[in-house]
Structure 1
Amino acid sequence: MTPPAPAIIVKGLTMAYGSFVLQRDLDFTINRGDIFVIMGGSGCGKSTLLRHMIGLKQPASGSVWYGEADFWALDEDERAAIIRRAGVLYQSGALWSSMTLAENVALPLQHYTDLAPEVVAELVAFKLSLVGLAGFEDFYPSELSGGMRKRAALARAIALDPDFLFFDEPSAGLDPISARNLDQLILELRESLGATVVIVTHELASIYAIATNSVFLDSEAKTMLATGDPKTLLQECTDPTVLNFLTRGTGQREVRTV
């Protein structure tokens, strides 16, 4: 069997705010087609790591590679070209409240393509239908439930058919059923787009339901303690901090998805 091709490689990455080191010596590989989870306890630097990977914060040292490209060694235009291949879903959704869903989803298409307005409108309707929001083009974010706003933000994130999808706590604020539906939607979109997905989360149900690979960050050690499929880590990892997290402190190695 041909081994999976690396999509993103993080090498020797150190994250810091001034003299304060948040994480050091991070080394892991995200393979093409992975649903890769960045996990760990509160305050360990999960969202900060995501910001380093999508160009919002430069690492103190180390590198992030997209294929053969050393991301932070590129100039600003070259980095922007890589990020245009990515869609991002922020924890809050970050929809423009003064715009309808159609206007929100159309933004990246209008900004990065020369498509005619009628083609943009067709694509917007298609993207909203993919996330179960057909017919909601003229609704404003305030008129939707939290789960629907997350799905609308996801429609915007996939507007340009990205190679990479980055999600920051996508299930935050959702009830268990909405969170499970969002997990299923992420799986379906990964299959239909062929995208590589990177998710920041501490929700074990989501981790076990959809993740194929992961890295575990620890705030006390200030480095990663494990990497690999979370279900495999649950069965094989001997680090007590990782095991405590993956079992909610019970030490029982059964997969729990609800």
Structure 2
Amino acid sequence: MSESQQAITAIRLAGPLDALLRHGSLTWELARRDILGRYRGASFGLLWSLISPFLMLVIYTLAFGYILKSRWPGTSGNMADFAMLLFVGLIVHGFFAECLTRAPTLITGNTNLVKRIVFPLQVLPWTMVFSALFHAFTNTIVFVVLNLVVRGELHATVLLLPFVYVPLAIGLLGVGWLLSSLSVFLRDITQITGVLATAMLFLSSAIVPVETLPPKYQFVFMLNPLTFIINEARDVAFWGRQPDWIGLAIYTAGATIFAFIGYVVFQKTRRGFADVL
């Protein structure tokens, strides 16, 4: 086998990891620009990445904690416990929702890059996920500080949160490749993702304690791929427990398969991007 054939084979085997193995510096630079560009021109700049989650928490706590009088089973029933448990769910959902709603426009919103034959379009979902991960971790910092201030607790297991986020990040890469490619040909997907993101919030354990629901409805909530990640994030960040390592391994395997499927669809359809756009 010639060196060129070996190189091609290596690229194919790398698959979704191609963005990091061959275009790592480009991927990181695009992610950095994406993060900084979001706050360019704002008076508080990157501080909004810390202010926004705090404001979001206040709104949801007022709505569900004070107005609807929601409480979480297994806690003392005070508002601080409810707010912190709610916040963890909102962080995970925010990570998911940012990727889901941005994925359909990754290609259609970068037509100038599509026209460049040499540009590796497959890196765009990576930059999207890295940007969303940045916001998830800034939200986590806000959670850690607030939890320490209002509840006086800080569990060492919070350091395990990256292991909980990674399986979801892998699945969201698949979402990025799949939706970004399909949206070139089916523009209606952009209109659906916003509604789907909201549905995924209210049909997960982010706001509603699943164990308090009637058994016939619990199944629907447990089918939501966010519910498991939210529960694991709460275990390590709020309850101070070890995560379900076997469950995370199974979730990672399923997310990896989905990511490869999304990547294959992306590579099969990318030849028609320039013609449609």
Q: Which band: TM-score by shorter chain?
A: under 0.3
The structure with the larger Rg is 2
Which structure shows the bigger proportion of residues in helix conformation?
2
Structure 1 length normalisation: TM-score? 0.26
